[in-house]
Chain A
Amino acid sequence: MICRFNSLIVNIGCRIIVPFIFIYGLYVIVFGHYSAGGGFQGGIILAAGVILMRLCVDRKTTYKKYPPRMGLILGAIGVIIYASTGIVTMLAGGNYLDYAFLPIQGMDIPDRRYYGILIVELGVALGVFGVMTSIFDSLTKEK
């Protein structure tokens, strides 16, 4: 049995809600250019999906699907994505985090800055997602 509680409502509710939470988190991240949202909020929503799974599903199963040590690794990858974007623009001849110098072929400057913002938001979202799940796993660790 992969369910932690012997309750139909909790198990089926978790099973139905979690995919929609993930989809909504991705939507908030990539729709940050046009509406309220962005990396921080979307990352938190994605982490809420993982935390709901941690609460409802058996510990061994969720730890196999998403290992606890994965959190800090993903957070570090997010920060590295952000910082290396700045270094790439610096190597291309601009200032640090000046997305107008991103080496993307066949694109004018506003579009480069648009995609620079998108890359940076993805980095922020990955960092926030990993760190939030890591904090939750640290707090609920079994002795």
Chain B
Amino acid sequence: MKWLSIILVGIFAAFLFYAEVDMPAYGDPEAPGSVHVSPEYIERTYEDTHTPNIVTSVLADYRGFDTLGETTVIFTAGLACYLLLGGWKRHDM
């Protein structure tokens, strides 16, 4: 059973290395991920939002709904800690 799992992991590793050959090089400007919307963001960030930092404008403006989800996730984590570890009574304060 142990050898079976090792062989399975080896086969999947071989598949991964085989597929990795087709990936674009790291930082390739012609990669499919870099030619879809990224040039629009880089070219039009300043005239759209007057914000020199592209990261901020993508985070809060172009992908604002995503950031709303992240904030909700953080708030949910805080709520879960509060509910699991016990609430605050009035005499604690």
Describe A's contact surface by its main secondary structure.
helix
The number of residue pairs between A and B whose CB atoms lie closer than 8 Å in the complex comes to: 113
B81 adjacent to A68 (CB under 8 Å): no
Q: Within B52-93, which residues are at the interface with A (CB < 8 Å)?
A: 52-53, 55-57, 59-61, 64-65, 67-68, 70-72, 74-75, 77-79, 81-82, 84-86, 88, 92-93
Question: CB of A15 within 8 A of chain B?
Answer: no
Chain B residues within 8 Å of A71, by CB: 78
B81 adjacent to A135 (CB under 8 Å): yes
Q: Which of A33, A64, A76, A117 contacts B93 (CB 8 A)?
A: A64
Chain A residues within 8 Å of B64, by CB: 86, 97, 99, 120
**A33, closest chain B residue (CB):** B51
B93 adjacent to A72 (CB under 8 Å): no
**0/1 string, B5-38, CB within 8 A of A gives 1:** 0000000000000000000000000000000000
Bin chain A's interface residue count: 35 or more
Give, as a whole number of angstroms, the nearest-CB distance from A143 to chain B.
Answer: 8
Question: CB of B47 within 8 A of chain A?
Answer: yes
Q: Which of B56, B68, B77, B88 contacts A117 (CB 8 A)?
A: B56
In the complex, A67 Cα to B67 Cα: how many Å?
A: 28
Residues of A within 8 A of B (CB): 32-36, 38-40, 63-64, 67-69, 71-72, 75-76, 78-79, 82-83, 86, 96-97, 99, 110-111, 113-114, 116-117, 120-121, 123-124, 127-128, 130-132, 134-135, 137-139, 141-142
Top 3 nearest A-B pairs (CB, nearest first) are A131-B78, A97-B64, A138-B85
